[in-house]
Structure 1
Amino acid sequence: MPGQRQRATGAGEELSPVVADAVAQAGFELEELQVQQAGRKQLVKVVVDGEHGIGLDEVAEVSRAVSAVLDQRDEVLLGAYTLEVTSPGLDRPLTKPRHWRRARLRKVAVRLAGDDGGEKLAARVGDADSDGVELLVDGQLRRVGYAEIEHAVIEVEFKEPPAAEIATLNHEEGSR
């Protein structure tokens, strides 16, 4: 079976540009494409996202667009395939500025780059731009460049964030 896995990897590499184009034409971005053997069929997993996320109706639209381009490239998949189009999970690392913008006011766990394993921060996300993000760490605002961040993920919260933290991140007068 090792040959089939290699073929699937090659298929993913060959299909990536056409799948990315189909996803982009639907107004989204291809986050990940996996092609692997699943019994007698290929499993094509497409993870898509957008500036403001992606809803179920939009996933269906992207699925139809990707299916159409895959059907035109039947020689790459060598037969039947199962298509799975999904959005990234909540546990997806924050790696792009748009991930940080969408996480605004959310609680995050951040590990900064460093020789000693890096400083670990529990923070709340403020404004983000193309170079970095403002984090609220222990009640203090701290600007962190993306290049300084080794790993970051959203932390699940089951209650509303403290009003004082939100006010600080919204730069409201009297919150400090």
Structure 2
Amino acid sequence: MAFPDVAQLTALISPAVDPRGWDVEAVKVTKAGKKSVVAVKLDADDRPTLDDLEVVSTEISELLDAAEERGDANFGAGYTLEVSTPGVDLPLTAPRHWRRNRHRLVALTEEGQKSLWRIGALAEDDSAVILVAADKKKSGNRDVSVFPEDVRELQLSSAPIAVVEVEFNESPATQLEITAKTYQEATQWREEHK
């Protein structure tokens, strides 16, 4: 039996992940000589803590070892398990990624052009997200006004290329006021202020 592939590994670890309501964001196997590294990236709406990850890592290790003992998997000379959260460099490819990063800056690439936006509310049907322009005004740390044209709806069906940006300055309060609104409130605000 060969080393389990990503789908098999995902199925093997699901008893440790699913009851917690967590998502398996990535599973990667890297061959490292005779041994392999199995890297598992987990996330949830209520971000797992380091303590949570330590507990689930032990459970995953036990599940993988049990699968090998039963003959359901073969890890060859062994493996090293790494369990972590995805980090900020995970592209936002699913509605849950947008929801979990609400209020944060995102670099959005459309038609070869990169722009910065602040993430607002996700539509109830997960089809779109509210964005507030974050790079139209070079303001440093001071607060700036938000105009209706600075607020838009991004259809997630367009498969946008988006990655969270690390932010060192305090977020402008006027942008956060819009991102704190529900999806409907933000679209209504934009219409009322045109």
Q: Classify the TM-score, shorter chain.
A: 0.7 to 0.9
Identity between Structure 1 and Structure 2 (%): 35
How many residue pairs get aligned? The number is: 163
Q: Give the SS at the match of 1:42.
A: strand
In the alignment, structure 1 residue 153 sits paired with structure 2 residue 163: yes
Alignment-derived partner of residue 108 in structure 1: 106
Question: Any conservation in 2 of the 1:111–1:149 contact (CA below 8 Å)?
Answer: no
- TM-score scaled to structure 2, two decimals? 0.74
Supply the AA of the counterpart residue of 1:22.
A
Whole-Å Cα distance in 2 between the matches of residues 12 and 167 of structure 1?
Answer: 41
Q: Give the SS at the match of 1:73.
A: helix
Whole-Å Cα distance in 2 between the matches of residues 150 and 168 of structure 1?
Answer: 21
Question: Any conservation in 2 of the 1:20–1:29 contact (CA below 8 Å)?
Answer: no
Alignment-derived partner of residue 175 in structure 2: 165
- TM-score scaled to structure 1, two decimals? 0.81
Question: Any conservation in 2 of the 1:26–1:65 contact (CA below 8 Å)?
Answer: no
Shift of 1:123: 0.9
Alignment-derived partner of residue 12 in structure 2: 18
Question: Any conservation in 1 of the 2:12–2:67 contact (CA below 8 Å)?
Answer: no
Q: Give the SS at the match of 2:81.
A: strand
Question: Any conservation in 2 of the 1:11–1:76 contact (CA below 8 Å)?
Answer: no
Alignment-derived partner of residue 28 in structure 2: 34
Unaligned runs of 5+ in 2: 137-145
Whole-Å Cα distance in 2 between the matches of residues 105 and 158 of structure 1?
Answer: 14
Unaligned runs of 5+ in 1: 1-6
Alignment-derived partner of residue 81 in structure 2: 83
Whole-Å Cα distance in 1 between the matches of residues 94 and 29 of structure 2?
Answer: 24
- In structure 1, which of residues 33, 52, 59 is the aligned counterpart of residue 53 of structure 2? 59
Question: Any conservation in 1 of the 2:28–2:39 contact (CA below 8 Å)?
Answer: yes
